[in-house]
Amino acid sequence: MHGPIAFRDRVYFAYGTGSKTFAVPESPGAFCTRGGRFGPHSSNESFTPVYYGRLVFIAYFNGGVRAVDMRDPFDPREAGFYFPAVTPRTDKRCVTVGGAERCKVAVQTNNVEVDDRGYIYIVGRADTGLHILELTSVARAIANLPARGD
């Protein structure tokens, strides 16, 4: 089997001869106390040549979206990330603890997709909206995208 299999706050990449774990640490982002969920939810499912064998993008709920360098599938490394900002429309996320409801306004990046031009599209489940992203820096170089003209 090839591809990510998500369990809580880790993504396990399984291959026929072994596996390697990619994990986003809870700090310095304080993701576990921000409100909402933290951990991997979905990955891009497109096999566009721009990213295939180079980068995979994983939605991490309140941890935003992560770009993971997969050129060496036995040593996946974070190549970049993006955290959407809370907007006036961002909805609160609530949990019940000891019979009392506790709520926080939290971004919840839910889905991620890419296209053959190199754009990354993310949406959340807390009404924060659609974000259209473009790679910069190390992640842009890994994707072999031309340098930006700005």
pLDDT tens-digit readout, 43-72? 888 888 999 999 999 999 888 999 999 999
Asked whether residue 129 is domain-assigned, the answer is: yes
pLDDT, residue 12, reads 53
Asked whether residue 62 is domain-assigned, the answer is: yes
Asked whether residue 147 is domain-assigned, the answer is: no
| pLDDT beneath 50, residues of the chain | 1-8
For the chain, what is the domain count?
1
| 126 Cβ contact partners less than 8 Å away, ≥ 6 residues apart | 36, 90, 91, 92, 93, 105, 106, 107, 108
Look up the pTM and report it: 0.79
Asked whether residue 124 is domain-assigned, the answer is: yes
Asked whether residue 150 is domain-assigned, the answer is: no
Asked whether residue 149 is domain-assigned, the answer is: no
Nearest one of 37, 59, 34 to 131, comparing CA atoms: 59
Question: What range defines the domain where residue 37 resides?
Answer: 4-142
Asked whether residue 50 is domain-assigned, the answer is: yes
Q: Which amino acid is at 34?
A: R
pLDDT, residue 1, reads 39
